[in-house]
A and B are shown apart, each in its own frame.
Chain A
Amino acid sequence: MTMAETPASPEVTSAAPRRRSTATDVALVAAFAALIAACTVIGGVPVGGAGVDITLQTFGVLLAGCVLGAARGFLAVVVYLVLGAIGLPVFAGHTGGLSAFTGVSAGYLWSFPVAALLAGFLVQYVFRARRTRAAFVFVAAMAGTALNHACGIVGMKLYLDSTWEQAIKFDAPFWVGDIVKALLVAIVAAEVHRAFPRLLGR
Protein backbone atom coordinates (compact mmCIF):
# COMPACT_ATOMS: atom_id res chain seq x y z
CA MET A 1 0.00 0.00 0.00
CA THR A 2 1.40 3.38 -0.93
CA MET A 3 0.56 6.91 0.08
CA ALA A 4 -1.65 7.27 -2.96
CA GLU A 5 -4.39 5.16 -1.40
CA THR A 6 -4.40 7.02 1.88
CA PRO A 7 -6.20 10.33 2.10
CA ALA A 8 -3.92 13.33 2.41
CA SER A 9 -4.03 14.52 6.00
CA PRO A 10 -1.69 15.70 8.75
CA GLU A 11 -1.87 12.21 10.23
CA VAL A 12 0.16 10.96 7.28
CA THR A 13 3.13 13.00 8.38
CA SER A 14 2.71 12.02 12.01
CA ALA A 15 2.70 8.35 11.01
CA ALA A 16 6.20 8.69 9.57
CA PRO A 17 8.80 7.06 11.79
CA ARG A 18 10.48 9.70 13.84
CA ARG A 19 13.26 9.35 16.30
CA ARG A 20 12.20 9.82 19.88
CA SER A 21 13.93 13.08 20.55
CA THR A 22 14.38 15.08 23.71
CA ALA A 23 13.13 18.11 21.75
CA THR A 24 9.75 16.41 21.25
CA ASP A 25 9.68 15.43 24.93
CA VAL A 26 10.32 19.04 25.95
CA ALA A 27 7.56 20.21 23.59
CA LEU A 28 5.08 17.61 24.91
CA VAL A 29 5.79 18.45 28.55
CA ALA A 30 5.31 22.17 27.84
CA ALA A 31 2.17 21.55 25.78
CA PHE A 32 0.54 19.50 28.54
CA ALA A 33 1.45 22.05 31.21
CA ALA A 34 -0.41 24.58 29.05
CA LEU A 35 -3.23 22.07 28.51
CA ILE A 36 -3.78 21.62 32.27
CA ALA A 37 -3.85 25.41 32.58
CA ALA A 38 -6.37 25.68 29.73
CA CYS A 39 -8.54 22.94 31.27
CA THR A 40 -8.57 24.82 34.56
CA VAL A 41 -9.26 28.30 33.24
CA ILE A 42 -11.93 27.59 30.63
CA GLY A 43 -14.08 26.80 33.61
CA GLY A 44 -16.96 24.52 34.23
CA VAL A 45 -18.08 21.94 31.77
CA PRO A 46 -21.61 20.63 32.16
CA VAL A 47 -21.56 16.93 32.88
CA GLY A 48 -24.51 14.91 31.72
CA GLY A 49 -27.94 16.39 32.40
CA ALA A 50 -27.50 16.93 36.11
CA GLY A 51 -26.33 20.50 35.62
CA VAL A 52 -23.29 19.92 37.83
CA ASP A 53 -20.39 22.04 36.66
CA ILE A 54 -16.88 20.85 37.31
CA THR A 55 -13.49 22.39 36.67
CA LEU A 56 -11.26 20.21 34.59
CA GLN A 57 -8.04 20.74 36.56
CA THR A 58 -7.73 17.15 37.79
CA PHE A 59 -8.82 15.95 34.35
CA GLY A 60 -5.78 17.72 32.87
CA VAL A 61 -3.45 16.43 35.57
CA LEU A 62 -4.43 12.77 35.23
CA LEU A 63 -4.59 13.04 31.45
CA ALA A 64 -0.97 14.25 31.38
CA GLY A 65 0.03 11.08 33.24
CA CYS A 66 -2.12 8.70 31.21
CA VAL A 67 -1.07 10.18 27.84
CA LEU A 68 2.61 11.03 28.42
CA GLY A 69 3.53 8.26 30.86
CA ALA A 70 5.14 8.49 34.29
CA ALA A 71 8.17 10.73 33.79
CA ARG A 72 6.87 13.23 31.24
CA GLY A 73 3.45 13.35 32.91
CA PHE A 74 5.05 14.14 36.27
CA LEU A 75 7.18 16.87 34.69
CA ALA A 76 4.21 18.40 32.82
CA VAL A 77 2.31 18.77 36.12
CA VAL A 78 5.37 20.22 37.86
CA VAL A 79 5.74 22.80 35.06
CA TYR A 80 2.02 23.63 35.41
CA LEU A 81 2.47 24.23 39.15
CA VAL A 82 5.55 26.36 38.39
CA LEU A 83 3.46 28.51 36.01
CA GLY A 84 1.00 29.11 38.82
CA ALA A 85 3.69 29.61 41.46
CA ILE A 86 5.46 32.32 39.48
CA GLY A 87 2.21 34.25 39.32
CA LEU A 88 0.39 33.31 36.09
CA PRO A 89 -3.38 33.03 36.54
CA VAL A 90 -3.60 29.31 35.78
CA PHE A 91 -5.31 28.04 38.93
CA ALA A 92 -9.04 27.67 39.50
CA GLY A 93 -10.93 30.96 39.48
CA HIS A 94 -8.34 32.66 37.21
CA THR A 95 -5.87 33.13 40.01
CA GLY A 96 -2.23 32.35 40.32
CA GLY A 97 0.56 32.92 42.75
CA LEU A 98 1.59 31.20 45.88
CA SER A 99 -1.71 31.33 47.78
CA ALA A 100 -2.89 28.04 46.28
CA PHE A 101 0.17 26.32 47.76
CA THR A 102 -0.58 27.50 51.28
CA GLY A 103 -4.36 27.19 51.39
CA VAL A 104 -6.67 24.58 52.83
CA SER A 105 -6.74 22.62 49.59
CA ALA A 106 -2.94 22.70 49.22
CA GLY A 107 -2.70 18.97 49.89
CA TYR A 108 -4.54 18.27 46.65
CA LEU A 109 -2.31 20.63 44.70
CA TRP A 110 0.97 19.26 46.08
CA SER A 111 -0.06 15.70 45.22
CA PHE A 112 -0.89 16.44 41.57
CA PRO A 113 2.55 15.51 40.16
CA VAL A 114 2.62 12.24 42.12
CA ALA A 115 -0.94 11.39 41.05
CA ALA A 116 0.08 11.89 37.40
CA LEU A 117 3.22 9.82 38.03
CA LEU A 118 1.23 6.92 39.50
CA ALA A 119 -1.42 6.93 36.74
CA GLY A 120 1.27 7.27 34.09
CA PHE A 121 3.31 4.44 35.57
CA LEU A 122 0.32 2.08 35.48
CA VAL A 123 -0.54 2.99 31.87
CA GLN A 124 3.05 2.87 30.63
CA TYR A 125 4.50 -0.15 32.42
CA VAL A 126 1.57 -2.25 33.68
CA PHE A 127 -1.12 -1.91 31.01
CA ARG A 128 1.25 -1.22 28.07
CA ALA A 129 -0.52 -2.30 24.85
CA ARG A 130 -3.91 -2.29 26.61
CA ARG A 131 -3.65 1.51 26.97
CA THR A 132 -5.88 1.93 23.90
CA ARG A 133 -8.77 0.48 25.93
CA ALA A 134 -10.57 2.93 28.15
CA ALA A 135 -11.35 0.39 30.91
CA PHE A 136 -7.67 -0.10 31.71
CA VAL A 137 -6.83 3.60 31.59
CA PHE A 138 -9.76 4.18 33.96
CA VAL A 139 -8.14 1.94 36.57
CA ALA A 140 -4.91 3.96 36.28
CA ALA A 141 -6.79 7.26 36.50
CA MET A 142 -8.70 6.06 39.58
CA ALA A 143 -5.44 5.09 41.29
CA GLY A 144 -4.21 8.64 40.70
CA THR A 145 -7.51 10.05 41.96
CA ALA A 146 -7.32 7.99 45.16
CA LEU A 147 -3.79 9.20 45.86
CA ASN A 148 -4.88 12.78 45.20
CA HIS A 149 -7.74 12.48 47.70
CA ALA A 150 -5.54 10.83 50.33
CA CYS A 151 -3.10 13.73 50.19
CA GLY A 152 -5.96 16.23 50.17
CA ILE A 153 -7.30 14.68 53.39
CA VAL A 154 -3.89 14.89 55.06
CA GLY A 155 -3.65 18.56 53.98
CA MET A 156 -7.08 19.42 55.38
CA LYS A 157 -6.34 17.66 58.64
CA LEU A 158 -3.17 19.76 59.03
CA TYR A 159 -4.69 23.10 58.02
CA LEU A 160 -7.98 22.73 59.85
CA ASP A 161 -6.54 20.87 62.83
CA SER A 162 -9.51 18.51 62.58
CA THR A 163 -9.84 14.79 63.20
CA TRP A 164 -9.26 12.24 60.44
CA GLU A 165 -12.97 11.45 60.36
CA GLN A 166 -13.86 15.09 59.75
CA ALA A 167 -11.23 15.54 57.05
CA ILE A 168 -12.53 12.45 55.27
CA LYS A 169 -16.07 13.84 55.47
CA PHE A 170 -14.94 17.16 53.99
CA ASP A 171 -13.30 15.29 51.13
CA ALA A 172 -16.18 12.94 50.37
CA PRO A 173 -18.37 15.22 48.18
CA PHE A 174 -15.53 15.71 45.67
CA TRP A 175 -15.46 12.02 44.77
CA VAL A 176 -18.47 12.10 42.46
CA GLY A 177 -17.00 14.71 40.14
CA ASP A 178 -13.58 13.09 40.22
CA ILE A 179 -14.90 9.68 39.20
CA VAL A 180 -16.61 11.34 36.22
CA LYS A 181 -13.33 13.09 35.38
CA ALA A 182 -11.39 9.81 35.61
CA LEU A 183 -13.89 8.34 33.15
CA LEU A 184 -13.31 11.22 30.75
CA VAL A 185 -9.55 10.81 31.14
CA ALA A 186 -9.88 7.13 30.28
CA ILE A 187 -11.96 7.73 27.14
CA VAL A 188 -9.82 10.59 25.87
CA ALA A 189 -6.41 9.03 26.68
CA ALA A 190 -7.39 5.75 24.99
CA GLU A 191 -8.38 7.71 21.87
CA VAL A 192 -5.13 9.68 21.90
CA HIS A 193 -3.12 6.43 22.15
CA ARG A 194 -5.02 5.08 19.15
CA ALA A 195 -4.26 8.28 17.20
CA PHE A 196 -0.59 8.38 18.25
CA PRO A 197 0.44 4.75 18.84
CA ARG A 198 4.10 5.68 19.30
CA LEU A 199 3.58 8.26 22.03
CA LEU A 200 4.55 5.75 24.70
CA GLY A 201 6.38 3.33 22.40
CA ARG A 202 10.04 2.71 22.50
Chain B
Amino acid sequence: MNPAYLFGVYQPGTTVLHRAWVGAKVGALAVFSLAVVLVRSMPASFGFLAIAVLAAAVARVDLRLLVRSLRPVLVVAVIFAALQWLLYGPVKAAETLVDLLALALAAIVVSSTTPVNAMLDALIRWIRPLRRVGVDPERVALTVGLAIQALPGTVALAIETRDAARARGVRHPRAFLSPFVIRVVARAHETGDALHARGIGDD
Protein backbone atom coordinates (compact mmCIF):
# COMPACT_ATOMS: atom_id res chain seq x y z
CA MET B 1 0.00 0.00 0.00
CA ASN B 2 1.28 3.42 -0.95
CA PRO B 3 1.96 5.46 2.21
CA ALA B 4 0.59 8.50 0.37
CA TYR B 5 -2.75 6.80 0.80
CA LEU B 6 -2.69 7.92 4.43
CA PHE B 7 -2.43 11.61 3.66
CA GLY B 8 -6.06 11.70 2.63
CA VAL B 9 -7.45 14.88 1.21
CA TYR B 10 -5.36 17.36 3.22
CA GLN B 11 -3.20 19.72 1.19
CA PRO B 12 -0.46 21.71 2.93
CA GLY B 13 -0.76 25.44 2.51
CA THR B 14 -0.62 28.81 4.25
CA THR B 15 -3.94 30.42 3.30
CA VAL B 16 -6.24 32.08 5.83
CA LEU B 17 -8.34 28.92 5.90
CA HIS B 18 -5.29 26.73 6.57
CA ARG B 19 -4.42 28.87 9.56
CA ALA B 20 -7.97 29.20 10.89
CA TRP B 21 -8.94 27.48 14.11
CA VAL B 22 -10.23 23.93 13.49
CA GLY B 23 -13.24 24.44 15.76
CA ALA B 24 -14.33 27.51 13.80
CA LYS B 25 -14.04 25.66 10.49
CA VAL B 26 -16.03 22.62 11.59
CA GLY B 27 -18.60 24.81 13.38
CA ALA B 28 -19.04 26.97 10.28
CA LEU B 29 -19.47 23.88 8.12
CA ALA B 30 -22.19 22.56 10.45
CA VAL B 31 -24.08 25.87 10.35
CA PHE B 32 -23.65 26.10 6.58
CA SER B 33 -24.95 22.56 6.01
CA LEU B 34 -27.96 23.15 8.21
CA ALA B 35 -28.76 26.38 6.37
CA VAL B 36 -28.50 24.71 2.94
CA VAL B 37 -30.86 21.92 3.98
CA LEU B 38 -33.38 24.20 5.70
CA VAL B 39 -33.56 27.17 3.31
CA ARG B 40 -35.49 26.15 0.20
CA SER B 41 -35.27 28.71 -2.56
CA MET B 42 -33.51 28.99 -5.88
CA PRO B 43 -31.66 32.29 -5.23
CA ALA B 44 -30.51 31.06 -1.84
CA SER B 45 -29.13 27.87 -3.37
CA PHE B 46 -26.97 29.84 -5.80
CA GLY B 47 -25.91 32.10 -2.93
CA PHE B 48 -24.74 29.08 -0.96
CA LEU B 49 -22.86 27.71 -3.96
CA ALA B 50 -21.18 31.10 -4.45
CA ILE B 51 -20.02 31.08 -0.82
CA ALA B 52 -18.61 27.55 -1.20
CA VAL B 53 -16.81 28.39 -4.46
CA LEU B 54 -15.34 31.52 -2.87
CA ALA B 55 -14.09 29.47 0.09
CA ALA B 56 -12.51 26.93 -2.26
CA ALA B 57 -10.78 29.77 -4.15
CA VAL B 58 -9.48 31.34 -0.93
CA ALA B 59 -8.19 27.92 0.22
CA ARG B 60 -6.61 27.35 -3.23
CA VAL B 61 -8.01 23.81 -3.35
CA ASP B 62 -6.20 21.80 -6.03
CA LEU B 63 -8.47 21.18 -9.02
CA ARG B 64 -7.49 17.52 -9.41
CA LEU B 65 -8.28 16.85 -5.76
CA LEU B 66 -11.54 18.70 -6.16
CA VAL B 67 -12.57 16.57 -9.14
CA ARG B 68 -11.50 13.34 -7.42
CA SER B 69 -13.41 14.19 -4.22
CA LEU B 70 -16.46 15.55 -6.00
CA ARG B 71 -16.87 12.66 -8.43
CA PRO B 72 -18.77 10.21 -6.19
CA VAL B 73 -20.91 13.02 -4.73
CA LEU B 74 -21.57 14.38 -8.20
CA VAL B 75 -22.67 11.02 -9.61
CA VAL B 76 -25.25 10.64 -6.84
CA ALA B 77 -26.36 14.27 -7.15
CA VAL B 78 -26.88 14.00 -10.92
CA ILE B 79 -28.92 10.80 -10.56
CA PHE B 80 -31.17 12.41 -7.97
CA ALA B 81 -31.49 15.61 -9.97
CA ALA B 82 -32.52 13.60 -13.03
CA LEU B 83 -35.15 11.76 -10.99
CA GLN B 84 -36.47 15.05 -9.65
CA TRP B 85 -36.62 16.56 -13.11
CA LEU B 86 -38.96 13.71 -14.08
CA LEU B 87 -41.05 14.05 -10.94
CA TYR B 88 -41.16 17.76 -10.19
CA GLY B 89 -39.69 19.56 -13.20
CA PRO B 90 -36.41 21.34 -13.93
CA VAL B 91 -36.51 24.04 -11.25
CA LYS B 92 -36.59 21.63 -8.36
CA ALA B 93 -33.91 19.47 -10.02
CA ALA B 94 -31.55 22.40 -10.46
CA GLU B 95 -32.04 23.45 -6.85
CA THR B 96 -31.18 19.96 -5.61
CA LEU B 97 -28.08 19.75 -7.78
CA VAL B 98 -26.81 23.18 -6.70
CA ASP B 99 -27.52 22.45 -3.02
CA LEU B 100 -25.67 19.14 -3.05
CA LEU B 101 -22.73 20.68 -4.89
CA ALA B 102 -22.48 23.52 -2.36
CA LEU B 103 -22.55 21.06 0.56
CA ALA B 104 -19.84 18.86 -0.91
CA LEU B 105 -17.63 21.77 -1.87
CA ALA B 106 -17.79 23.34 1.60
CA ALA B 107 -16.91 20.05 3.27
CA ILE B 108 -13.96 19.50 0.93
CA VAL B 109 -12.64 22.98 1.73
CA VAL B 110 -12.59 22.17 5.47
CA SER B 111 -11.01 18.75 4.98
CA SER B 112 -8.37 19.91 2.50
CA THR B 113 -7.18 22.74 4.75
CA THR B 114 -7.01 20.78 8.02
CA PRO B 115 -4.33 18.13 8.66
CA VAL B 116 -5.48 14.76 9.98
CA ASN B 117 -3.54 15.27 13.20
CA ALA B 118 -5.08 18.69 13.86
CA MET B 119 -8.55 17.22 13.33
CA LEU B 120 -7.76 14.36 15.68
CA ASP B 121 -6.33 16.66 18.37
CA ALA B 122 -9.40 18.90 18.12
CA LEU B 123 -11.70 15.90 18.42
CA ILE B 124 -9.91 14.68 21.56
CA ARG B 125 -10.21 18.19 23.06
CA TRP B 126 -13.93 18.35 22.31
CA ILE B 127 -14.74 15.05 23.95
CA ARG B 128 -12.92 15.96 27.17
CA PRO B 129 -16.18 17.02 28.89
CA LEU B 130 -17.52 13.50 28.19
CA ARG B 131 -15.04 12.25 30.82
CA ARG B 132 -17.86 12.68 33.35
CA VAL B 133 -20.02 10.08 31.56
CA GLY B 134 -17.17 7.56 31.42
CA VAL B 135 -15.47 8.39 28.12
CA ASP B 136 -11.67 8.38 28.48
CA PRO B 137 -10.26 10.80 25.87
CA GLU B 138 -6.81 9.17 26.01
CA ARG B 139 -8.30 5.77 25.28
CA VAL B 140 -10.25 7.27 22.37
CA ALA B 141 -7.04 8.80 21.03
CA LEU B 142 -5.26 5.45 21.39
CA THR B 143 -8.07 3.59 19.60
CA VAL B 144 -8.25 6.04 16.70
CA GLY B 145 -4.43 6.05 16.46
CA LEU B 146 -4.38 2.26 16.41
CA ALA B 147 -7.04 2.17 13.69
CA ILE B 148 -5.00 4.59 11.55
CA GLN B 149 -1.93 2.41 12.11
CA ALA B 150 -3.89 -0.70 11.13
CA LEU B 151 -5.28 0.82 7.90
CA PRO B 152 -2.52 0.05 5.38
CA GLY B 153 -1.92 -3.41 6.84
CA THR B 154 -5.61 -4.29 6.77
CA VAL B 155 -6.07 -3.14 3.18
CA ALA B 156 -2.97 -5.17 2.21
CA LEU B 157 -4.35 -8.19 4.07
CA ALA B 158 -7.70 -7.88 2.25
CA ILE B 159 -6.02 -7.70 -1.15
CA GLU B 160 -3.65 -10.56 -0.29
CA THR B 161 -6.48 -12.84 0.85
CA ARG B 162 -8.57 -11.95 -2.20
CA ASP B 163 -5.66 -12.74 -4.53
CA ALA B 164 -5.01 -16.03 -2.74
CA ALA B 165 -8.66 -17.01 -3.29
CA ARG B 166 -8.44 -15.99 -6.96
CA ALA B 167 -5.20 -17.94 -7.39
CA ARG B 168 -7.08 -21.03 -6.28
CA GLY B 169 -9.80 -20.22 -8.77
CA VAL B 170 -12.46 -19.45 -6.16
CA ARG B 171 -14.84 -16.67 -7.19
CA HIS B 172 -17.26 -16.63 -4.28
CA PRO B 173 -16.62 -13.64 -1.99
CA ARG B 174 -17.12 -15.86 1.05
CA ALA B 175 -13.94 -17.79 0.17
CA PHE B 176 -11.83 -14.72 0.81
CA LEU B 177 -13.96 -12.82 3.34
CA SER B 178 -13.92 -15.49 6.08
CA PRO B 179 -10.14 -16.02 6.09
CA PHE B 180 -9.63 -12.26 5.89
CA VAL B 181 -11.88 -11.50 8.87
CA ILE B 182 -10.42 -14.38 10.91
CA ARG B 183 -6.92 -13.05 10.29
CA VAL B 184 -8.01 -9.56 11.35
CA VAL B 185 -9.45 -10.93 14.61
CA ALA B 186 -6.32 -13.04 15.29
CA ARG B 187 -4.05 -10.07 14.68
CA ALA B 188 -6.18 -7.86 16.94
CA HIS B 189 -5.72 -10.40 19.74
CA GLU B 190 -1.94 -10.20 19.27
CA THR B 191 -2.06 -6.42 19.40
CA GLY B 192 -4.28 -6.63 22.49
CA ASP B 193 -1.71 -8.88 24.16
CA ALA B 194 1.08 -6.46 23.29
CA LEU B 195 -0.88 -3.51 24.69
CA HIS B 196 -1.77 -5.49 27.76
CA ALA B 197 1.86 -6.51 28.32
CA ARG B 198 2.82 -2.84 28.18
CA GLY B 199 0.38 -2.13 31.00
CA ILE B 200 -2.22 -0.38 28.81
CA GLY B 201 -5.69 -1.12 30.08
CA ASP B 202 -4.51 -1.70 33.65
CA ASP B 203 -5.46 1.84 34.63
Task: Establish whether A and B are touching in the complex (CB under 8 Å).
Answer: yes
**Once the chains bind, are B146 and A30 in contact (CB under 8 Å)?**
yes
Query: Is B37 interfacial (CB 8 A cutoff)?
Result: yes
The proximity string for A residues 1-34 relative to B, scoring 1 for CB distances below 8 Å and 0 otherwise, is: 0000000001000100010011111111111111
Instruction: Contacts A28-B192, A87-B10, A184-B174 given; indicate if A101 touches B107 (C-beta within 8 A).
Output: yes
Q: Which residues of chain B from 73 to 124 have any CB-CB distance to chain A below 8 Å in the complex?
A: 73, 76-77, 80, 83-84, 87, 92, 96, 99-100, 103-104, 106-108, 110-112, 114-116, 119-120, 123
**Once the chains bind, are B173 and A99 in contact (CB under 8 Å)?**
no
Query: Is B29 interfacial (CB 8 A cutoff)?
Result: yes
Nearest CB of B to A161, in Å:
6
**Once the chains bind, are A105 and B76 in contact (CB under 8 Å)?**
yes
**Once the chains bind, are A46 and B171 in contact (CB under 8 Å)?**
yes
A87 contact from B84, B116, B177, B196, Cβ within 8 A: B116
A185 nearest CB neighbor, chain B only: B177
Query: Is B20 interfacial (CB 8 A cutoff)?
Result: no
Query: Is A179 interfacial (CB 8 A cutoff)?
Result: no
Set of chain B residues within 8 Å of A25, measured between Cβ atoms: 192
Set of chain A residues within 8 Å of B69, measured between Cβ atoms: 95, 97, 99
**Once the chains bind, are A187 and B178 in contact (CB under 8 Å)?**
yes
**Once the chains bind, are B200 and A23 in contact (CB under 8 Å)?**
yes
Interface stretch of the complex, out of A112-120, A125-133, A139-147, A188-196: A188-196
B112 contact from A21, A90, A97, Cβ within 8 A: A97
CA–CA, A47 and B114, complex, Å: 38
Query: Is A135 interfacial (CB 8 A cutoff)?
Result: no
A192 contact from B33, B159, B181, Cβ within 8 A: B181
Query: Is A50 interfacial (CB 8 A cutoff)?
Result: no
A97 contact from B92, B111, B144, B149, Cβ within 8 A: B111
Query: Is A150 interfacial (CB 8 A cutoff)?
Result: no
**Once the chains bind, are B154 and A104 in contact (CB under 8 Å)?**
no
Question: What is the size, in residues, of chain A's interface with B at 8 Å between Cβ atoms?
Answer: 71
Query: Is A67 interfacial (CB 8 A cutoff)?
Result: yes
Nearest CB of B to A42, in Å:
5
Interface of A is mostly: helix
Set of chain B residues within 8 Å of A10, measured between Cβ atoms: 186
Nearest CB of A to B100, in Å:
6
B25 nearest CB neighbor, chain A only: A98
Instruction: Contacts A89-B9, A188-B178 given; indicate if A79 touches B147 (C-beta within 8 A).
Output: yes
A92 nearest CB neighbor, chain B only: B72
Query: Is B155 interfacial (CB 8 A cutoff)?
Result: yes
CA–CA, A98 and B29, complex, Å: 9
The proximity string for A residues 38-59 relative to B, scoring 1 for CB distances below 8 Å and 0 otherwise, is: 1101100111000000000001
**A to B CB contacts below 8 Å, 29 in the list:** A22-B139, A23-B196, A27-B191, A28-B185, A29-B143, A31-B188, A35-B184, A37-B147, A42-B158, A82-B144, A83-B144, A83-B151, A85-B119, A86-B120, A87-B116, A87-B119, A88-B6, A93-B71, A95-B72, A97-B8, A99-B104, A102-B104, A103-B104, A159-B100, A184-B174, A187-B174, A188-B181, A195-B185, A196-B185
- B residues in contact (CB < 8 Å) with A: 5-6, 8-10, 26, 29, 33, 36-37, 40, 68-69, 71-73, 76-77, 80, 83-84, 87, 92, 96, 99-100, 103-104, 106-108, 110-112, 114-116, 119-120, 123, 139, 142-144, 146-151, 153-155, 157-159, 162, 171, 173-174, 177-178, 181-182, 184-189, 191-193, 195-196, 200-201
- A residues in contact (CB < 8 Å) with B: 10, 14, 18, 21-35, 37-39, 41-42, 45-47, 59, 63, 67, 75, 79-80, 82-83, 85-105, 156, 158-162, 166, 170, 184, 187-188, 191-192, 195-196, 199
9 further A-B pairs in the complex, CB-CB below 8 A; given A28-B192, A37-B147, A161-B40:
A23-B192, A23-B201, A29-B143, A29-B147, A83-B148, A97-B110, A102-B104, A103-B73, A188-B174
